[in-house]
Amino acid sequence: MKRLLVIENNTQNHNMIETTTPLFENGSNAYARIKQADRLTALFQQNTNINKYKKKQVIYSEGNHPVQLFYIKKGIVKTYKCNPEGKELITGIYGEGEYLGYVALLEETVYKDIAVAVEYAELAVISKDEFDLLMETDWQIARKFITLLARDITDKEQLLLGLAYNSLRKKVAEALILLSRKYKDAIKISRDNLAAIAGTATESLIRTLGEFRQEKLIEISEGYITILNEAKLRTMLN
């Protein structure tokens, strides 16, 4: 199986990204275009090392040590923690084009939550060693993940504040807007998962969705949720 990067035991490792990846075999012009764009994303998009997960299949578990970085090529992934009673607290929702598992890699610690495929998903991967090398040799990639880590901390803080202080309608509106950015078309997610994202009981979620439907903010058809008036939903977040 072709690997994303080739690690060579010589003194030229700092040039590895430029000399060993097939992305740049078409000459300096192709390299310049990739260099200006997101090179790590480009590497993942051309990577043939793909893991495939069925709906509800675990991608990684809490307490395990990370051995690779994930890039979501297809599908939706949720991360969550469980309280002693088994109730889920969603800690993140990730869609196509997003990275997964980088927090534990950057902190050099174990996973602090569980990652599960919400639907069929395809994830490209690179090893921890390859990721570490990229972080050490490419300042643009290092800066990107420092930014992602800072954003992750901010998102977690906002999540906790929202769970503590937001009204039910605001929680559900925020969850719908979040999911609308992850799904290309209509939102297809179980009511239990949507309730966990919103931080409310399933019964309360269903009642609020009914209210939104009557107010023509959303449309529900065969389990799919389509947002009809995102602007009005956003006014609830203020």
Residue 30 is assigned to a structural domain of this protein: no
State whether 114 and 60 are in the same domain.
Answer: yes
Range of the structural domain that residue 192 is part of: 167-235
**Tens digits of residue pLDDT in 103-160:** 999 999 999 999 999 999 999 999 999 899 989 988 888 888 999 888 888 877 877 7
Domain containing residue 120: CATH number: 2.60.120.10
Please check whether residues 45 and 137 belong to one and the same domain.
Answer: yes
Number of domains forming the structure of the chain:
2
Of 213, 65, 62, 189, nearest to 128 by C-alpha is 65
pTM (two decimals) = 0.74
Per-residue pLDDT reduced to its tens digit, 200-213: 999 999 999 999 99
Beta-strand ranges (E) seen in the chain are 50-53, 58-60, 68-74, 77-82, 88-94, 99-100, 114-117, 121-127, 187-188, 218-221, 224-227
Two tokens, residue 38: 């997101």
Instruction: Mark whether 63 and 137 lie in a shared domain.
Output: yes
For residue range 27-58, list pLDDT tens digits in order: 444 444 445 446 777 777 777 789 999 999 99
Q: Are residues 50 and 81 in the same domain?
A: yes
Report d(CA 199, CA 180) in Å as an integer.
Answer: 17
The predicted structure's pLDDT at residue 212: 96
Report whether 179 contacts 187 (CB < 8 A). Answer: yes
CA 117/CA 123 separation, integer angstroms: 10
Structural domain contains residue 45: yes
3-state helix, strand, coil in the chain (%, to 5): 45, 20, 30
> For residues 147 and 151, what is the distance between their CA atoms, to the nearest angstrom?
6
In a domain, 115, yes or no: yes
Q: Give the H/E segment covering residue 221.
A: strand 218-221
What rounded mean pLDDT belongs to the chain?
82
Assess whether 54 and 147 both reside in one domain: yes
Calpha distance 60→42 (Å, rounded): 24
- The answer to whether residue 135 is domain-embedded is yes
pLDDT single digits (tens) 71-105:
999 999 999 998 888 788 888 889 998 999 999 99
Co-location of 121 and 214 in the same domain: no
- The CATH number of whichever domain residue 219 belongs to comes to 1.10.10.10
With a CB cutoff of 8 Å and minimum separation 6, the contacts of 191 are 202, 205, 206, 209
